[in-house]
Structure 1
Amino acid sequence: MLGGWRGPATAMDEETIYAIDESRGLLKKYDHVRDVWAELVEDDRLKGSHHLAAVGGKVCISAAKAGTIVVVDVVAPPPARLWEVEAPPGFQVSALHMLQ
């Protein structure tokens, strides 16, 4: 597991670990059965990300672009669906928490 862990990580439902390789802009999911990291989506908007949170089939990632959160639907069939959510004007993302 540690071999592919390159940046911030989060868990969904205390079962699945997701991690960002912020240098490549790559979202990965850990497969504990095979002990490998599966690459889910690579996108320039994910480069430089610092925070992420996951719940309900979505992973939210603070983008390098100030005030932007990229949402990835990780349960949708490939290709992964991504969209951006803007923070309210004048605010920056300092942490991410998702409530269900």
Structure 2
Amino acid sequence: MRAAAGTKRHGGTAVVGPLAVLPEYRERGIASHLVQAALMRARAGGCQLAVVLSMFCASFFSRHGFLVTPRGALPSELRASKAYQRHDSQASFCMTCDLR
């Protein structure tokens, strides 16, 4: 596999990631296509919000419509999830994208 992007749903919220592209395939727009496909699937599935919890590439996600968001503003269902608990540290950032 050369690239992959995961999406997990928590109610009306889709958590996008992890996202990975092998080094020799980077700088070709593959990650952008994967993010756009993940957002399209989330919208088609009825999600109203997409979330990224990561330690890397905030500027990349901002180019796709994500905004830095305080963790307390996330839906409570997501904050209670294992995905959120795993990334809940000072080192990682939280970004959201309105899918409506």
TM-score (norm 1): 0.26
Q: Which has the larger strand fraction?
A: 1
TM-score (norm 2): 0.26
